[in-house]
Amino acid sequence: MCPDSDIAVRAQNLSKAYLLWGNPRDRLRQPVRDRMSRWFGLSPKQYYQQFWALQNVAFEVHRGETMGVIGRNGCGKSTLLQMLAGTLTPTSGTCSVHGRVSALLELGSGFNPEFTGRENVYLNAAILGLDRSETDERYPRIVEFADIGEYIDQPVKLYSSGMFMRLAFAVAINVDPDVLIVDEALAVGDAFFVQKCMRFMQKFRRERCLMFVSHDTTAVTALCDRVMLLDHGEVKALGTAKEVCRLYLEERFGAVQSIDAVRSGADPGGLARLQSEDVDDDPVDQRLKYINTSTLRNDIQVFRFDAASQGFGAAGARITNVSLRNPETGAPLAWIVGGERVTLQVEVLAERRLTRAIVGFMVKDRLGQLVFSDNTYLTYAATGFAVEPDERFVARFDFRMPLLPAGDYAIAASVAEGTQLDHVQLHWLHEALVFRSESSSVCTGMVGIPQRRIVMEIADQG
């Protein structure tokens, strides 16, 4: 049991209800009706509906600990943080923050759009508890961290969202907070500044308390010791970052797809580890043993085929299933690492006779950028691949899964008829299969290639 002096944030049975009024006049009618009910014995009447944004939320965050808060839009994340920051009053329950709290909530909150950046620095610092002399002392550090140049003396209404975030973050971290609350603020920053902020938060969280809200589970996993998953205003899960983020991802994709994810740490299909003895002639990365036993492994979570994915086509054939499978046993895979051999299997039903069927796939990242692709045309270019009506056929692509940067990926699958240059798309599914790379051994680039051999040696000085 940690002593109370070690607790930075505490919430006990915290609840928040909003009153939803059907008509603006009801705001006046309600107190009048309440008084008449008390004075004249009339039956009570309620002109509003209650919406509970949070219900019975309880947790503690200790100094030197980072708590992540995740959940779908509307689950109560921002309401919770606003109560911790003191800008909202709980309906019931209590919350306490020990020490100075600095919060980045809604973008530009606490800023006057007519004031310059310099004036808003002093205004925001005063709101956060600094006097003029303290702000004078910190001002050079704020300007240096924000790095917005001459715009510091321009009205902030002229700022882009990224510049807004730069200045707000710079002020928030330079008031020496004991508790820093960050609510999706980094979503609008450029890559260089986001990395700068992440470096600061990595250092900050070692000694003080950080509460971090984001839909980016990669960032949450990297920063947070524990994570709380909110669902319809209630705490659905509270535990380690990896386990709770995994549950969130399952629910996130589960709204449109059936999920077959590994929860128990089992090894479906026998491919959770990279095998160096698969094929003697295959290149084997000498670092695979290290990758498999470190936090650098990819941990790719695979979700089931989405038959309702958006698509198009002239009809004549229909894709009925897409899956990643063990190339040895044919078992479907729910969890892989990256770098091992896998089989992408595309199952198709022919609705008419096809004389030259072609099946292909494209792997795209969350921005829609093509990572890699292939199809069956060249393999069957000389003979073609004919299918009769109502026949089912399968295309299998056996390859070594690249090492992928962390993020969301989608596999588009298609079936066509014709040639590489002249064909008709019969059925194309944009997001037939979705998977998530949770952590990565990739340094830079869109994919990592397993290296046959890496050597450093002293050059011959002669």
Confidence band of 263 (pLDDT split at 50, 70, 90): very low
Is 4-254's fold the same as 288-437's? no
The Cα 241–Cα 224 span in angstroms is 6
Average pLDDT over residues 347-361: 94
- What mean pLDDT, rounded, does the chain reach? 80
Length reported for the chain: 462
**pLDDT value of residue 403:** 81
CB 377 within 8 A of CB 420: yes
pLDDT band at 261, cuts 50/70/90? very low
Condensed to tens digits (0 to 9), the pLDDT of residues 446-458 reads: 777 766 676 777 7
Per-residue pLDDT, 351? 94
120 to 143, 167, 313: CA distances (angstroms) = 12, 9, 55
When pLDDT is averaged across residues 346-367 and rounded to a whole number, the result is 90
Sequence spans of domains, the chain: 4-254, 288-437
Q: Which of 171-175, 195-199, 320-324 has the highest mean pLDDT?
A: 320-324
Instruction: Work out the burial of residue 430: count CB atoms within 10 Å of its CB; fewer than 13 is exposed, 13-18 middle, 19 or more buried.
Output: middle
Q: Which CATH number fits domain 288-437: 2.60.130.10, 2.70.50.60, 3.40.120.10, 3.10.129.10?
A: 2.70.50.60
pLDDT for the residue numbered 58 = 92
CA 394 – CA 387 distance, rounded (Å): 11
- Residue range 104-128: average pLDDT? 83
| Residue 386 in tokens | 């004919």
pLDDT band at 268 (very low <50, low <70, confident <90, very high): very low
Q: What global pTM score does this model have?
A: 0.60
187 band by pLDDT with thresholds 50, 70 and 90: low
Which among 24, 49, 431, 71 is positioned nearest to 257, based on CA atoms?
Answer: 431
Q: How many CB atoms lie within 10 A of CB 283?
A: 11
Chain-centroid distance, C-alpha 443 = 20
Residue 152 reports pLDDT greater than 80: yes
Model pLDDT for residues 23-65, shown as the tens digit of each residue: 888 888 888 888 888 887 777 888 778 888 899 999 999 988 9
58-110 pLDDT per residue, tens: 999 998 899 999 988 888 888 898 898 888 889 999 988 888 888 877 666 67
What class does CATH assign to 4-254? alpha beta
The crossing angle, in degrees rounded to 10, of helices 161-173 and 132-146 is: 130
